[in-house]
Chain A
């Protein structure tokens, strides 16, 4: 009951989101961009998510059917989060942002993922320690609360996340974070441009591409075609060793990570049944009628 009312509240918030949609980009002289931006201290906060590696094929459902087996399964950075890290590092290389902070929530192992982000060019990392039972039930709502709290604490101006995690495909964290902070959001971004103190975001939507202009501070979620993530070079991997990762607990941020959801059961997809071949179209129609499909 508590959960559904929360969802309704968020939904109405989305409708009153302060986004401006422009039919065409406003005309602005190029020269005014740089001086404005270097005065501003813009921090980018990334979400870095550790998911089961996409190339691992033998995922098994746990015997008690409460989830899948994760022990011994290779985990790596969520591909959409890799794209988010790349975009942030690119912005820093263009000198449009001052500092890139990579954040990940989870047990000790997520430090590896944060180090990968550091090797790609992030300046420092924050590891929000969540382990054991709490980690198994950690979902977008809890993560977005953590991010909102961190964003305020770190005074970040831009949060970039992957649009969704490839293990649960929720596609909620970015949107919820924006709502909790009351910030504008540019989701499914395939292009992000900083124009003075606004962000122009090209979004991939079902009908094509939508260009919006949003105020900073804002939340952006990265889609597939935003960029191609770089390989971490050897020298950068070695520099990453010296970069700092601070540890924080959700309680320190005043966040309650208990879940409002209960997983009832997890099943494998049904085995594919063999089909039936028919000789004529007439037979096909008969079979469909028999099966009650038409």
Chain B
């Protein structure tokens, strides 16, 4: 719609003018620009699909377009935005009490406070149902005691609140809002990370953290809770990955037009042209999908984007491994994007089950 186009164009200008200049050094030095949350908050793009509480209340298409513009700059920035919007604001909005929404949503929308989403554990990635983090209810103090460890948590070293999913005594998974400062809660940073360097990733370590029962998200139990959030984010990721692919395509196109070898621009060669034709085809097809096919969309967009980025890197030759040319950064980042929110293979199995009616996640029947 006209409005979605305006949103995209306005945000595109912001991304190119304010985010692009920062990314080279942010990626090289692994520096997280906390300020971008406040800037995005001012523009009203955090939690864009939520109605009320200071949020814009716009469509999923607009959210996808916003994600695409951010990821055109960097997947790390887009991860930060997705976590805040879909994995922190969304569960509070969908599963929280009115009091929780009033307390957290407006500040999250403005970027005043930063949140993170704790589901994945060191021993449980693709099978969150096997999680070892436990929540024990104490009737005397009306609190839950939560112990466990979460890892690969975007934003956690800097987060003010953590939406943590833990198994309760009845075996059901439930969501809790933990606040920085609670005793026993620590969020160490993961070092030596070679992907999404512009965003801070860490663990959430909980050693008998006492969480008041008001911080439980009451309106959901079971894995439907976290999966609902991830579904919300997945749309943004699918479109986002194509934004990264588009950048790589345009960068490779410009480079091969400018670089002259053997007296002609590289772009004069058939192999180069075929590669670009394939890239453009995949990007265009990727943008046609509708939300219902979300599993297919995520798997396809991320997988294709990674291929496109690798091809583009190749087309830049030696210059392609220098971060000044940006493509290698997208290659690094897309490795993570391909993996999180349901690995390439897991989505393949989801689709396989939908196609055949038979599950092949586990060996048993």
Identify the A interface with B (CB < 8 A): 112, 115-116, 119, 231-238, 240-241
Task: Determine if B42 is an interface residue (Cβ-Cβ < 8 Å).
Answer: yes
Question: In the assembled complex, how far is the CB of residue A124 from the closest CB belonging to chain B, in whole angstroms?
Answer: 17
Report the Cα distance A242→B135, complex, angstroms: 48
Our pick among B10, B57, B58 for the contact of A232 (Cβ within 8 Å) is B10
Enumerate chain B residues within 8 angstroms of A112, measured Cβ to Cβ. Answer: 2, 6
Stretch at the interface among B43-51, B208-216, B305-313: B43-51
Report the Cα distance A115→B5, complex, angstroms: 11
Enumerate chain A residues within 8 angstroms of B43, measured Cβ to Cβ. Answer: 231, 233-234
**Judging by beta carbons under 8 Å apart, are B3 and A237 in contact?**
yes
| Given known A-B contacts A112-B6, A115-B2, A241-B3, A234 and B56 have beta carbons under 8 A apart | yes
Task: Determine if B7 is an interface residue (Cβ-Cβ < 8 Å).
Answer: yes
| Given known A-B contacts A238-B56, A238-B57, A238-B58, A233 and B3 have beta carbons under 8 A apart | no
Q: Is the interface of A mostly helix, strand, loop or mixed?
A: helix
Question: In the assembled complex, how far is the CB of residue B47 from the closest CB belonging to chain A, in whole angstroms?
Answer: 10
Task: Determine if B14 is an interface residue (Cβ-Cβ < 8 Å).
Answer: yes
Report the Cα distance A204→B14, complex, angstroms: 28
Report the Cα distance A240→B44, complex, angstroms: 14
Task: Determine if B138 is an interface residue (Cβ-Cβ < 8 Å).
Answer: no
Q: Mark B27-44, 1 if CB is under 8 A from A, else 0.
A: 000000000000000111
Number of CB contacts from chain A to chain B under 8 A: 42
**Judging by beta carbons under 8 Å apart, are B6 and A235 in contact?**
no
Enumerate chain A residues within 8 angstroms of B273, measured Cβ to Cβ. Answer: none
Our pick among B11, B14, B56 for the contact of A235 (Cβ within 8 Å) is B56
Closest to B45 in A: A234
Closest to A115 in B: B6
Question: In the assembled complex, how far is the CB of residue A85 from the closest CB belonging to chain B, in whole angstroms?
Answer: 13
Report the Cα distance A234→B65, complex, angstroms: 12
**Judging by beta carbons under 8 Å apart, are A116 and B14 in contact?**
no
Closest to B1 in A: A241
**Judging by beta carbons under 8 Å apart, are B44 and A233 in contact?**
yes
Report the Cα distance A236→B42, complex, angstroms: 11
A and B contact pairs by CB, cutoff 8 A, 16 listed? A112-B6, A231-B11, A231-B13, A232-B6, A233-B42, A233-B44, A234-B7, A234-B44, A234-B45, A234-B48, A237-B3, A238-B3, A238-B56, A238-B58, A241-B2, A241-B3
Enumerate chain A residues within 8 angstroms of B7, measured Cβ to Cβ. Answer: 234, 237
